[in-house]
Amino acid sequence: MKEKDMRLDDTIRENEMETAYPLIAPLRCLRLKETNPESWRIVDNLMDHREERMQDTDSYIQPYKIDVIDKVTKDLEIATEDQIIQVLGYLDVNCLAIRGRDGTYRGRGIYPVASLMNHSCISRDGTYRGRGIYPVASLMNHSCICNTRNIIQQTRLKCYATVEIKEGHPITTHYASPLLSLNSRREKLKSRWFFDCCCHRCSDGQDLTSGLKCENCENGYLLPENPLISDTIYSCACGNELSSAMVSRITSSFEPMLEALKVFQLPGTSEEEGLLETLTQRFHPSHYLPLGKLCIHIIWKRSSIFIYRIVLQTAFRRY
């Protein structure tokens, strides 16, 4: 790679950091070829889904065009467009989120087991933020009911079994949040990792993260008849049916309310608890809106032992 002074100017203002930081991980990854060939060999064995990504450049390449690709190839002149696209593929496909104390994710880096490249940063408030590649952890396949849990401390990842794993059984993790709805999980897995998830949870038709309360009977819920088909009919045991499009419209109608709560940050939790009651009257308690979005938001806002117990009880139901 062509030598270049890539030090960031100390006078970079706070509002410029968002455009400066996206360059750091790709540049460090490119430099591995010369500075640490063994680490580069590990990274170079990862999947980048280049063929699939190049078939839809508007989605996967164009967003990086100005702030990353053009700056690396034209301004810094240290790599070709093919080289930087390859590195961006490694980062997009294999990065794991490193959550800060405030729950945010920022930055990206590459860490084999401990630290190949220390790109994540500690901000002035002491919050540790970033995304990192852990090539050993990347070997695990996805399952929507995985048997491990990753704990990231600083730049080190520890993987713990959450259930007993018998000899010969696969060790799995989740690429998408298990709290997402069936369609949301499968769409995310398809768009980022380019496979259709057909795990037991996705295929058995009883994933309650997508369940809507049936209005024709007292205790029934509308669930997808064929969960592996995106436009499947949702039906209840009483015979009531809804189209997938209608289910999507009903679900989407509540999204602005959830986003408004996050934006306005009202004191207390009375507004959130009122909306939670409304959602549980329309959806199953394990639906991703009341459980995966609102309850988690309430916990972050107010760590009440009572609410925490309710969420745990709901989360440890079948789904």
Instruction: Please tell me the predicted confidence (pLDDT) of residue 314.
Output: 58
Instruction: Please tell me the predicted confidence (pLDDT) of residue 113.
Output: 38
Instruction: Please tell me the predicted confidence (pLDDT) of residue 124.
Output: 39
> Distance between CA 187 and CA 202 in Å, rounded?
12
Whether residue 148 contacts residue 122, with contact meaning beta carbons closer than 8 Å, is answered with no
Instruction: Please tell me the predicted confidence (pLDDT) of residue 310.
Output: 56
Instruction: Please tell me the predicted confidence (pLDDT) of residue 157.
Output: 85
Those residues of the chain that have pLDDT short of 50 are 8-12, 101-128, 304-305, 319
Instruction: Please tell me the predicted confidence (pLDDT) of residue 143.
Output: 94
CA distances from 209 to 75, 249, 295 (A): 47, 16, 13
Instruction: Please tell me the predicted confidence (pLDDT) of residue 319.
Output: 47
Instruction: Please tell me the predicted confidence (pLDDT) of residue 105.
Output: 43
Output phi, psi for 317, to 5 deg: -70, -175
How long a stretch of residues is the chain? 319
Alpha helices in the chain (DSSP H): 17-20, 24-35, 37-44, 50-54, 57-60, 70, 81-94, 182-193, 200-203, 244-252, 255-264, 270-282, 296-301, 305-315
pTM: 0.74
